[in-house]
Amino acid sequence: MQQTSMHETHVGSPRNRVDGRLKVTGEARYAAEYTAPDLAVGYVVSGAIARGRIRSVDTKAAMAVPGVIQVFTHQNRPRTAWRAKAYQDEVAPPGTPFRPLYDDKILYSGQPIALVVAEDFEIARYAASLVRVTYETEPHETDLGKLREKAYKPPKTRSGMAPPPPRGDAEAAIGAAPFKVDESYRIAIEHHNPMEMHASTVVWEGDGKITVYDKIQGVQNTQSYITHVFGLSNDDVRVLSPFVGGAFGSGLRPQYQLFLAVMAALELQRSVRVMLERDQMFTFTYRPDALQEMAIGANPDATLQAIRHDAIGCTSRFEDYQESVVSWSAMMYRCDNVTTTYKLAQIDTYTPGDMRAPGAPTGMFALESAMDELSYKLQIDPLQLRLRNYAETEGGGGKPFTSKELRAAYQLGAERFGWSRRNPVPRSMKEGRELIGWGMASGMWEAMMEKTSARATLTIDGRLEVGTATADIGTGTYTILTQIAADALGLPMEKVTARIGDSSLPMSPVEGGSWTAASAGSAVHVACNAVRETLFKYARGMDASPLANADIGRVAFRGGRMELMADPSRYVTIQDTMRAGGVDRIEAEETAAPSRINQLRYAAYTHSAIFAEVRVDEELGRVRVTRIVDAVAAGKILNPKTARSQILGGVVFGIGMALTEESMMDHNLGRFMNHNIAEYHVPVNADIHDIEVIFVEEHEDKINPLGVKGLGEIGIVGTAAAIANAVYHATGKRIRHLPITVDKIIGEKEAA
């Protein structure tokens, strides 16, 4: 790809969201808000047992309700469905994906066992309550703690999830280390709970063609799923998802309401909508529980001698879901002796799924908590311990980093937080009835880029449209793509339109992994550069052109014209150039892909340093996070305003992980019991106080043409550990099982 000089006026500046007005006025429409003539509504009937078989389904009373069109069960499911017996969607783990209404088997509690389709929602919901089901139950197991001995190494490794190879002799080094930590750590299961619930509206277009509005983080993933499962062609299925009301990973895979809506629409040959209710949002993907054993050994000079990190994650019985839980322990610090293991144990739930920075908050909670514990044993400042073992290469002996400014993040974060004023003694800081604690942790997440295509179209009226099939789940994708495109052609942002969330647009992977800015942004950048080059050729060929002998690298595109950098008075306008060339539009479709050579040679990560202050009511055990400073090194920041919002969201996510979020399973029933947002506690406004975000200057030139690293996930990584470390500093009580609730603060025993 030819690198061109850009006169940047938008990239790097804090710009308002181009879709902001649509969202705050309600004009932005989401999957369940689209309508169509003769639209029917489906309501899902959820199963009541955790494992077994359906003995009978009585739908007579439901079918007798006026307005009910059909009740679908495994007994009358259309035979056209599931042509691809074990179709793997784009982000599926190894195994056989769940197939709704496939047979009489019950694989988990809450499994969809029927779909009532009616003329409106209220009729469908009422009729669903009349469906009578009897079951044959089988023994189930949902307690990961009881399955240690049954844990296994997955026979097929999910891409990028294999633990790194061991180095040195960690066991011997830990045994010989004069200072060591050897403890167990655990987090609770968490559910995604985005504001927008999962929904699919399938519009019957006739002749077997459908338009699908789906809550999804990748419209082409949904399209591929539908075509494979129902035996349709891409021409038969168009998927649209212009706005997504949060997803956090729950929308990476097509969820079961999509299958049910498409199945019903194709069978009834009419438009159908299926939206899940809030409690049904607890009947599919979640962040998995993980049993972690972490041991760290160090010398008296605080240099790490060994790290051992073993984890057991839970998965379903039909897929081997995997995360990179232990990998971070092998990469974060300089250490010659490291060993990690990762195993799975099957429980009777739906398959866990990727949830904001999957694996990293889990594994880094254990690592960063253990590092904090080690600092107290060594009687060294927790920040100094990390600096003493700072890795200049991956793990201290691996690949060099494409860029790494974590040392600067430590310094700037500590200065802004006032870390030097910290009294290192636990329970030494107090105000009134509240104990005050200061804790810190490191954050690390992959900086990735995926192959992506984009189209750029410049019209003679000076307007530019760019399009790629990626998604915007609230991250600001519309805005940054608009900024990139506007700068490429020197146009005001008002003259640029970004189109995304449409399966007919150029190829894009799902929006996840914090790779969208790097991937979709680079594709738009390349496509716009191609338009620039074509436009410039026309400009050079104009009669008496002031740019006839110029090189594109010495020309600035700004204000709707092309001008010589050395002499801005010599220019031509876009309109005049296109008229002279006899064209009213210039279009280019290009693909951007990561450098395979650089991927092999370098390690690419975003880094952060998190400093947290908590106040703990000694009598009530209530914990308040009163201050957080998060210093982030993430390459070039395309839009400081939307970037800051991403880190703020991640930090709030981390506060929830540390203090409130917990999906509570009744193991006797095998069912999550707090399946609503009244009892599943996410942080609310009153829980959030001062959060300061610092972006550390970092030059990146090896990952992608824009020099950016993702921001969607780094904000949560390490945040829960920093808070837990602050709680220990405040109370002298080490809590190793998240969330940190009142009973663990004031109880007699450590809840480890």
- Identify the CATH number of the domain in which residue 89 sits: 3.90.1170.50
In a domain, 384, yes or no: yes
Whether residue 7 has pLDDT greater than 60? no
**Do 664 and 674 have their domain in common?**
yes
Is-above-0.85 flag for pTM?
A: yes
Give the domain range for residue 349.
170-190+287-448+600-746
Other C-beta atoms lying within 10 Å of the C-beta of residue 677: 15
What is the DSSP code (8-state) at residue 602? -
Domain closes at, from 536, 564, 593 = 593
**Do 515 and 610 have their domain in common?**
no
**Do 95 and 218 have their domain in common?**
yes
**Do 202 and 232 have their domain in common?**
yes
Catalytic residues: 713
CA end-to-end span of the chain, whole Å? 53
**Do 92 and 241 have their domain in common?**
yes
d(C-alpha 211, C-alpha 234), whole Å: 11
In a domain, 7, yes or no: no
Whether residue 492 has pLDDT greater than 50? yes
Whether residue 444 has pLDDT greater than 80? yes
**Do 86 and 228 have their domain in common?**
yes
CATH number of the domain that residue 672 is part of:
3.30.365.10
Mean pLDDT for the stretch of residues 163-175? 96
Residue 168 and residue 336 in contact, taking contact as beta carbons nearer than 8 Å:
yes
Whether residue 689 has pLDDT greater than 80? yes
**Do 83 and 209 have their domain in common?**
yes
> What is the full DSSP assignment across 394-411?
GGGTSPBBS---HHHHHH
In a domain, 156, yes or no: no
pLDDT at 748: 65
In a domain, 148, yes or no: no
Mean pLDDT for the stretch of residues 133-140? 98
Domain closes at, from 569, 593, 617 = 593
Angle at the Cα of 601 (from 337 to 647), degrees rounded to 5? 80
Domain closes at, from 577, 593, 609 = 593
In a domain, 165, yes or no: no
H or E stretch at 186: strand 179-187
pLDDT at 159: 87
pLDDT at 71: 98
Confidence of residue 490 (pLDDT cuts 50, 70, 90): very high
In a domain, 160, yes or no: no
**Do 673 and 733 have their domain in common?**
yes
d(C-alpha 207, C-alpha 419), whole Å: 67
For residue 474, give Cα distances in angstroms to 248, 477, 515: 10, 8, 14
The tokens for 701 are 């030139």
In a domain, 108, yes or no: yes
**Do 401 and 386 have their domain in common?**
yes
H or E stretch at 596: helix 596-601
**Do 504 and 378 have their domain in common?**
no
Residue 190 and residue 674 in contact, taking contact as beta carbons nearer than 8 Å:
no
In a domain, 629, yes or no: yes
**Do 615 and 605 have their domain in common?**
yes
Number of domains observed in the structure of the chain? 3
**Do 633 and 735 have their domain in common?**
yes
What is the DSSP code (8-state) at residue 95? B
Confidence of residue 81 (pLDDT cuts 50, 70, 90): low
Confidence of residue 11 (pLDDT cuts 50, 70, 90): very high
Local structure of 57: helix, strand or coil:
strand
